[in-house]
């Protein structure tokens, strides 16, 4: 597995990481714990060194899974987790009640996450979503104190706007920004990616396979259970799934040429955008993990990329990525 450096920091990780959320949260019922721990170790055995979780995934259970599963190999891996929500009560029926990035709460989350992750330091600590009630300078200052105390190594932001990133970076250098980015969500190209390049900040795209859509395994007849987050997303409505198949056809055409899969082409495209981009596709299946990791071996030429760019420019993407109340939490 190739190694990439995130921005101008000293943080080096595998070119492809593993998003762990779906093992416990959001995509149907939680998966078997022992099977998921086996998958985590299989990822390490195949060269993955970068694992992504958050306190809100579960809530809490995903951090516990990652902590237990990776403890025997802790010295070989980088673990990222997140703060920024007030976790909901069991009776509320939701994972979180509201945003909460007050400095005292960040400290509480860090201490709790350290215990669940079974470690003495959090490698990368993201603000999960920007909290408009708390100045970003205060957030960055709180994480700076955690870094000085040896509890955190690097500071990250997730789905933050460019001006917020600049303000935070002035207080405590931001090592990584996490954002959705893929062939069917390219908004980061407009302002975010140029700013990250200027500031020397790495980019970690989540949902690099469009929450599974870019694997080519979905069509207008695909349905999602109530426990599957995608059932509430406009982009996964039947009419949108049907309209967006043209993007899958594009990936399929190049996949045949490269003797790869649509998912591998989608990930290889991301890797080809910048050397400081590290996607974190998630999966709960060993076969899919191996398929995703194979993307690092797919070489896209300048001609391939130009062909994809020209073809993708002719394909309008249907459907919003989030319902309005969740979209409002991004880009602040």
Residue whose structure tokens are 């860090």: 110
pLDDT digits (tens, 9 = 90+) for 44-80: 999 999 999 999 999 999 999 999 999 999 999 999 9
CA angle 217, 239, 29 (to 5 degrees): 50
* pLDDT confidence bin for 283, thresholds 50/70/90: very high
pLDDT of residue 88: 78
Residue whose structure tokens are 């594009």: 250
Question: How far is 83 from 55, CA to CA, in rounded Å?
Answer: 7
Q: Is residue 309 part of a domain?
A: yes
Per-residue pLDDT for 89 more than 90? no
As to burial, measured by CB atoms within 10 angstroms (0-12 exposed, 13-18 middle, 19+ buried), residue 325 is exposed
As to burial, measured by CB atoms within 10 angstroms (0-12 exposed, 13-18 middle, 19+ buried), residue 149 is exposed
Per-residue pLDDT for 92 more than 80? no
Q: Is residue 115 part of a domain?
A: yes
Percent of the chain beyond pLDDT 90?
A: 95
pLDDT of residue 96: 84
Which residue stretches of the chain are H helix? 33-45, 61-70, 103-116, 136-148, 162-171, 192-199, 238-243, 245-258, 262-273, 286-293, 302-312, 324-327
What's the mean per-residue pLDDT of the chain? 95
Q: Which of 27, 57, 60, 154 is catalytic?
A: 57
pLDDT of residue 115: 98
CB distance 22 to 30 below 8 Å = no
Question: How far is 325 from 130, CA to CA, in rounded Å?
Answer: 14
Q: Is residue 15 part of a domain?
A: yes
Q: Is residue 130 part of a domain?
A: yes
Per-residue pLDDT for 193 more than 90? yes
CB distance 107 to 146 below 8 Å = yes
pLDDT of residue 206: 98
pLDDT of residue 90: 53
Question: Alpha carbon of 14 to those of 50, 230, 271: distances in Å?
Answer: 6, 28, 12
Per-residue pLDDT for 165 more than 70? yes
The torsion defined by the Cα of 137, 139, 144 and 149, in degrees rounded to 10, comes to: 150
Least confident of 64-73, 81-90, 114-123, 218-227: 81-90
Per-residue pLDDT for 29 more than 80? yes
CA pseudo-torsion sign 32, 159, 330, 215: negative
Q: Is residue 240 part of a domain?
A: yes
What CATH number should be reported for the domain holding residue 227? Answer: 3.20.20.100
Per-residue pLDDT for 124 more than 60? yes
CB distance 203 to 276 below 8 Å = yes
Q: Is residue 271 part of a domain?
A: yes
The torsion defined by the Cα of 146, 280, 66 and 85, in degrees rounded to 10, comes to: 50
**Max Cα-Cα span within the chain:** 55
The answer to whether 60 is a known catalytic residue is no
Per-residue pLDDT for 294 more than 60? yes
Q: What is the pTM of this model?
A: 0.96
Q: Is residue 270 part of a domain?
A: yes
237, containing H or E segment: none
Overall number of domains in the chain? 1
pLDDT digits (tens, 9 = 90+) for 237-260: 999 999 999 999 999 999 999 999
* pLDDT confidence bin for 296, thresholds 50/70/90: very high
Q: Is residue 332 part of a domain?
A: no
Question: How far is 52 from 82, CA to CA, in rounded Å?
Answer: 9
* Domain interval for residue 210: 3-327
Mean pLDDT for the stretch of residues 93-101: 83
Phi, psi of 27 (to 5 degrees): -110, 65
pLDDT of residue 97: 85
Per-residue pLDDT for 91 more than 80? no
pLDDT of residue 250: 95
Residue 272 has a CB neighbour count (10 Å cut-off) of 17
Question: How far is 143 from 106, CA to CA, in rounded Å?
Answer: 8
């Amino acid at each position: 597995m190739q190694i990439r450096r995130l921005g101008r920091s000293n943080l080096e990780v595998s070119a492809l990481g593993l998003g762990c959320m779906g093992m416990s949260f959001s995509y149907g019922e939680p998966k078997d714990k022992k099977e998921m721990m086996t998958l985590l170790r299989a990822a390490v055995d195949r060269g993955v060194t970068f694992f992504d979780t958050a306190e809100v995934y579960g809530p809490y259970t995903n951090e516990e899974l990652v902590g237990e599963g990776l403890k025997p190999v802790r010295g070989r891996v980088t673990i990222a987790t997140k703060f920024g929500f007030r976790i909901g009560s069991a009776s509320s029926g939701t994972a979180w009640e509201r945003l909460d990035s007050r400095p005292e709460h960040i400290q509480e989350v860090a201490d709790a996450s350290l215990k669940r992750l079974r470690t003495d330091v959090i490698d990368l600590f993201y603000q999960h979503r920007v909290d408009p009630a708390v100045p970003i300078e205060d957030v960055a200052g709180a994480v700076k104190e955690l870094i000085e105390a040896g509890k955190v190594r690097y500071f990250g932001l997730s789905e933050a706007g460019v001006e917020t990133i600049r303000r935070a970076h002035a207080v405590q250098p931001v090592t990584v920004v996490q954002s959705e980015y893929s062939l069917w969500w390219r908004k980061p190209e407009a302002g975010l990616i140029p700013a990250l390049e200027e500031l020397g900040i790495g980019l970690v795209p989540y949902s690099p396979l469009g929450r599974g859509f870019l694997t080519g395994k979905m069509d207008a007849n695909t349905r999602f259970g109530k426990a599957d987050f995608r059932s509430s997303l406009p982009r996964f409505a039947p009419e949108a799934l049907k309209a967006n198949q043209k993007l899958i056809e594009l990936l399929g055409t190049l996949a045949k040429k490269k003797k790869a899969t649509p998912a591998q082409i989608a990930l290889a495209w991301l890797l080809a955008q910048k050397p400081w981009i590290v996607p974190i596709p998630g999966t709960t299946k060993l076969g899919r993990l191996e398929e995703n990791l194979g993307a690092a071996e797919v070489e896209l030429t300048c001609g391939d990329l130009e062909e994809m760019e020209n073809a993708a420019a002719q394909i309008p993407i249907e459907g919003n990525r989030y319902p309005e109340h969740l979209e409002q939490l991004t880009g602040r």
